[in-house]
Chains A and B, each alone.
Chain A
């Protein structure tokens, strides 16, 4: 990477600043060799290609802190071709990807091979998380320079079993810390998950929130925070689904521990009653909890307790989801809609536009320590999204680029679909159509 430039040069002319409204001003943004060089009115092209924004609103390219593209291994469910096209469609120019199917990233060799594989077909910049497992313990130091964080499952989910032995967990927390990277965790308590299954033998999707209970998440978040306190580890809790979990994170922060968290659009916009209507379409892990939890999570995002919104994009063919509850896989696609779903929170007036945007840009990049991403600031990567805040559209899953071709938001009228997406100065999507077939690079990382 040292002998090639960081990207292209581009002048975006005649955009409008975010947030839209009476305070919005005309603005130009010039990207030089992939980096934002200047922001202001009436900029000269100075040799850069010119893109007329025609009054569209400009924001930084989105950072999705949590996707599953299932490639290598389960390309029939997604793959980087479809996945990264979906990302661009949602305004996302950087993804952090979790491999939860074989081959897992448990050695430097496996992780390097995966990075090379992804590089060949990703349209967006990417970080690949290494798996934190007893089997990868000896490789953590070797993997650390190549990964933003280590992914740990405390509770089993699609493809990966959970770690429930307290001593093993303590050892893994300490080992990750010694290797110099943070831990990102799927927090659900294995014992309580088993208990939930036992006590709801005839469950359907309507009871998924009872099978994978609030207590399971809360207990596991509590355990993880204790382990941080014991080992000094830095912890990021993925896909928080409960208000109580957010409260524990807030307490841990107040105590001075390095604990952060993200949640997913479905925990903010759906609730268990809607899941009862959606059936297995709404089956995700952790489960979608109550409307009160959704309200608490929105507040936690606004208050800065929860840092980011990551999609946990987890596609499956519809036929798989139409098996009966206990055999239907968990997970739903949504990277294709990340910006319109985030913008929806602002449109409803439940979050300020600035807070909603930060949750998928600057704060998302900060919480996983991704330099150069998520900000419209000179020196940052020239990742840009242009959208019309008033443009409305009806969600049709079959038209989305994700291979699964269905959406839990089917029929919703959302607004602000990304019209143009720029990655390091290169136009990658225009009017919903990708204009590149690859070109994504590994995310820059801080030295270990």
Chain B
């Protein structure tokens, strides 16, 4: 394992490391001006293939606070990329000679993962398409941790568009990892997707419970509220009646932004989106709840609660700088936060032969023309499940072949479980397998 650490996904950090990171960020936050000795002489490069001014400024401010320098390509999409330079070659040059750390923003899912394969310095994912934006999630977690002193056991309301916002999905997974409970208050029609709930169930043993949200008041008046908790039924029995789990005092409300294109008939000023205002904040359950929002907001949080001490969204945005300072200093090895190796995760292997099994049209493994080796992450044997190691989308396949026996089997067949992961080839249909010279395996034959 290489000793360079990267931050591509929130899963690249262990819970313990995140805890240390938050402690470090809180230390930096006391007097951010007094750390300019820490990373003197170090340079971070901002490689932005699509614009995101706020993310970029926050990183650059953090690096400058640490006494380092920044070099910036804010419009990579229209510079070397349009001349046809591959991401791999750009990283070989920038992430070696020019800079000691790279912050990458790209429109293709998996770009940051690809960058780590070619960079000799740490890479931070500043957002890769609709895939991950781990520093955003870290900032949200950090803010919650600062306000509440812990994350485990908190009751956090996620409200609004829970369907399309990947930021919200990442946040929900992270909360589950920390052992927090999630109260889903969706905009009707924008409920948490089934695949998110399924992953929460499979990885964190979380069962969705219907909830009685009368004490959430106006905020939940039109929603079917669902409670996601890792707690066991006997721990919940006191709070559950015929109408479901009774929502009591919650610790935080995280409002989401309606994404314009997802809400086509909601023109300005005529919003039917959930709104948090003075009246809604009077609800009994929200008495001690902090209000969070990723900003920029539209009308989902009305200005009449900006002065409410529970509204922390501006503080939340400001905390992005000390958190990113901690992350930069940690990845550059200037503070002791990270272990030498990433926490263990599922096996990743290059695809041994055949076509790229990733079918997502905007994944970096499809959009990048050169220097990409398709890779697969093995998520489970029974049921057999594999994802693209770049964009994390489920691979779509009906058959799996073995490169040593040259046999292929239906994906659900027990024979597949006996194929070594690095020998597996994925086929959309039988014709694709036959085209590569694979033969249909016998139902019972042992497979190596």
Q: Please, which residues of chain B bring their CB within 8 A of the CB of A294?
A: 261, 264
Min CB–CB distance A82 → chain B (angstroms): 14
A350 contacts B264, C-beta separation under 8 Å: yes
B267 contacts A292, C-beta separation under 8 Å: yes
Min CB–CB distance A345 → chain B (angstroms): 8
Among A276, A349, A408, A413, point to the contact of B195 (Cβ < 8 A): A413
Does B265 interact with chain A (Cβ within 8 Å)? yes
List of 10 A-B pairs having minimum Cβ-Cβ separation, nearest first: A291-B260, A398-B359, A350-B265, A271-B261, A294-B264, A413-B193, A406-B361, A348-B189, A298-B265, A398-B396
Which of B263, B265, B393, B428 has most A Cβ within 10 Å?
B265
B82 contacts A204, C-beta separation under 8 Å: yes
A277 contacts B359, C-beta separation under 8 Å: no
Does B74 interact with chain A (Cβ within 8 Å)? no
Does B362 interact with chain A (Cβ within 8 Å)? yes
Contact residues of B between 199 and 220, Cβ < 8 Å to A: none
Stretch at the interface among A108-116, A389-397, A431-439: A389-397
Known A271-B260, A394-B193, A397-B361; further 8 A-B contacts with Cβ < 8 A: A318-B361, A321-B361, A322-B369, A350-B264, A351-B265, A396-B359, A410-B361, A411-B360
Does B272 interact with chain A (Cβ within 8 Å)? yes
Does A269 interact with chain B (Cβ within 8 Å)? yes
Residue in A closest to B107 when the chains form the complex, CB atoms: A277
Min CB–CB distance A365 → chain B (angstroms): 25
Does B19 interact with chain A (Cβ within 8 Å)? no
Residue in B closest to A332 when the chains form the complex, CB atoms: B361
Interface string of A279-303 (1 = CB under 8 A from B): 1010000000001101111110010
User: Contacts A348-B190, A394-B195, A413-B194 hold; do A291 and B362 have CB atoms under 8 A apart?
Assistant: no
Interface string of B330-369 (1 = CB under 8 A from A): 0000000000000000000000000000011110001101
A407 contacts B261, C-beta separation under 8 Å: no
Does A197 interact with chain B (Cβ within 8 Å)? no
Residue in B closest to A290 when the chains form the complex, CB atoms: B260
Does B179 interact with chain A (Cβ within 8 Å)? no
Does B446 interact with chain A (Cβ within 8 Å)? no
Does B129 interact with chain A (Cβ within 8 Å)? yes
CA distance A393 to B163 in the complex (A): 13
CA distance A268 to B262 in the complex (A): 9
Q: Please, which residues of chain B bring their CB within 8 A of the CB of A279?
A: 107, 362, 367
CA distance A281 to B264 in the complex (A): 20
Q: Please, which residues of chain B bring their CB within 8 A of the CB of A202?
A: 78, 82
Residue in A closest to B391 when the chains form the complex, CB atoms: A411
How many chain B residues touch A (CB < 8 A): the figure is: 34
How many chain A residues touch B (CB < 8 A): the figure is: 45
CA distance A190 to B77 in the complex (A): 29
Contact residues of B between 152 and 197, Cβ < 8 Å to A: 163, 188-190, 193-195
Residue in B closest to A301 when the chains form the complex, CB atoms: B265
Among B188, B261, B265, B394, point to the contact of A270 (Cβ < 8 A): B261
Min CB–CB distance B176 → chain A (angstroms): 19
Does A278 interact with chain B (Cβ within 8 Å)? yes
Residue in A closest to B264 when the chains form the complex, CB atoms: A294
User: Contacts A349-B189, A397-B361, A410-B359 hold; do A322 and B264 have CB atoms under 8 A apart?
Assistant: no
Does B50 interact with chain A (Cβ within 8 Å)? yes
Min CB–CB distance A333 → chain B (angstroms): 11
Which of B129, B189, B195, B362 has most A Cβ within 10 Å?
B362
A-B pairs with beta carbons under 8 Å apart, 5 shown:
A204-B78, A281-B361, A295-B265, A322-B369, A411-B360
Does B295 interact with chain A (Cβ within 8 Å)? no
Q: Please, which residues of chain A bring their CB within 8 A of the CB of B361?
A: 278, 281, 318, 321, 397, 406-408, 410
Does A6 interact with chain B (Cβ within 8 Å)? no
Does A327 interact with chain B (Cβ within 8 Å)? no
B360 contacts A204, C-beta separation under 8 Å: no
Does A399 interact with chain B (Cβ within 8 Å)? yes
Among A206, A299, A347, point to the contact of B265 (Cβ < 8 A): A299
CA distance A253 to B265 in the complex (A): 23
Min CB–CB distance B329 → chain A (angstroms): 32
Q: Please, which residues of chain A bring their CB within 8 A of the CB of B396?
A: 396, 398-399
Does B90 interact with chain A (Cβ within 8 Å)? no
